[in-house]
Structure 1
Amino acid sequence: MHDKKIITAGKPLGEARKALIMIHGRGASADSILSLAAHLQVSDFALLAPQAANHTWYPYSFLAPPAQNEPWLSSALSVLKEVTDDIQKAGIPAEHIYFLGFSQGACLMLEFIARNAAQYGGAAAFTGGLVGDKIYPENYKGDFNGTPIFIGTSDPDMHVPVERVYATTNILKNMGASVTEKVYPNMGHTINQDEIDLANKLVFRP
């Protein structure tokens, strides 16, 4: 199972007015996703990046039946819940909590916020979609109340089919999120400058 191992950067949690939870992809690290903050408008944020055990949040594809990725998936979601609770206990309300993830981290992040919808500060998902062999709408509850969410992806992508991105966008919109989705032809499994620019404009705007 995952331990709550959090790497921090930016402003100390007790001094910041906003917080960003950054979730790394499979095979990557908390430190690597934190390095992305240098390109984002988050200089006044507390930055928190949980580290997955063995550098992976769950063992199989996010498109596998959820039971196949248990108990790792539930453990990973619990870590995000604990981090979010810790931020709120430090005095930062949900509407000033932001989320970012890449690849497996983006899938985990989207799954977490859809299961725990609220008016957050915003979310940026770089190549990800909701988890499961199909969409399980009964797992998702709450109201985003206009939370800005950016989802960028490549078509094709070796891990994330664009159809799942479209389905994810529809679910989040139906839950009250203000979703901007952008599909880049043949971008590859990466993050491009346009995605960074859009995340700054739509999600991390001052």
Structure 2
Amino acid sequence: MYTHQKNSITAGVPVAEAKKAVIFIHGRGSSAEDILSLNNHLGIKDAAFFAPQATNNSWYPYSFMAPVKENQPALDSALGLIKELVAEIENAGILQDQIYFVGFSQGACLTLEYITRNAGKYGGAVAFTGGLIGKEINMQNYKGNFKQTPVLITTGDPDPHVPVSRVETSKGILEKMNAMVSLKIYPGKLHTISKQEILLAKEIVFDSNQLR
């Protein structure tokens, strides 16, 4: 089992000059560089970008639907890494409500798990194909108020890794915690990020906040 070393790449506006920050979280087998290139399509401007890199290119070893203990200590280490990154961004003078998250697949699961364990008013979050982590959902982990943070969750039906039922359950939990969740399920979509999902992310999370 493994833990993660602090290893992020940055792009965009230097954090000391930025008013907003976007944290990009890559999927299993992918890389920080890879997920950061997503902004070529999202076209977010005037923000500092951060993309942490997972050890062995994976945030945790098994499926996100496996019992949580099987994915330890990697999962706690990954969540801790993001928490540290958020603290760094806030210490640089960027407010929590100007911090955004974008994750794909394993990175989308980690995004949802992090923000729901640390609920508050964020700029917004996009989870391209993901859900909350664990064989069973442990509601003890989730406290706080999203204060109408916009969250977009997308997935395919069926998806080989992410059951639609878990995505819908995750949406319900975030909504109970006062997140403004948009869920889009695409029949037969491949396990990739489609042009339609990019457009939706721009419309719901980024353009609505004038982050262009």
Task: Give the TM-score normalised by structure 2.
Answer: 0.96
Length, aligned pairs only: 206
Among candidates 130, 137, 140, match of residue 138 of structure 1? 140
Structure 2 residues not aligned, in runs of 5+: none
Q: Does the 8 Å CA contact 1:119/1:144 hold for their aligned counterparts?
A: yes
Amino acid of the residue matched to residue 31 of structure 1? E
Q: Deviations over 1:28-61 (max 9, x none)?
A: 0000000001111411110000000010000000
Task: Give the TM-score normalised by structure 1.
Answer: 0.99
Amino acid of the residue matched to residue 92 of structure 2? A
Distance 1:137 1:174 in 2: 11
CA RMSD of aligned residues (A): 0.6
Structure 1 residues not aligned, in runs of 5+: none
Runs of 4+ in 1 over 4 A off after TM superposition: none
Among candidates 98, 112, 122, match of residue 120 of structure 1? 122
1:65 is matched with which residue? 67
Give how far 1:88 is off: 0.2
Q: Deviations over 1:137-173 (max 9, x none)?
A: 1110110000000001000000000000000000000
Among candidates 88, 91, 94, match of residue 92 of structure 1? 94
Aligned 1:25-174 pairs, distance under 5 A: 25-174=27-176
Task: Answer yes or no: is 1:13 the counterpart of 2:15.
Answer: yes
Give how far 1:100 is off: 0.6
Distance 2:202 2:30 in 1: 23
Q: Does the residue aligned with 1:203 lie in a helix, a strand or coil?
A: helix
Distance 1:159 1:61 in 2: 8
Amino acid of the residue matched to residue 146 of structure 1? Q
Distance 2:170 2:112 in 1: 8
How much identity, in percent, do the aligned residues show?
A: 56
Q: Deviations over 1:6-34 (max 9, x none)?
A: 10011110111100000000000000000
Distance 1:148 1:88 in 2: 20
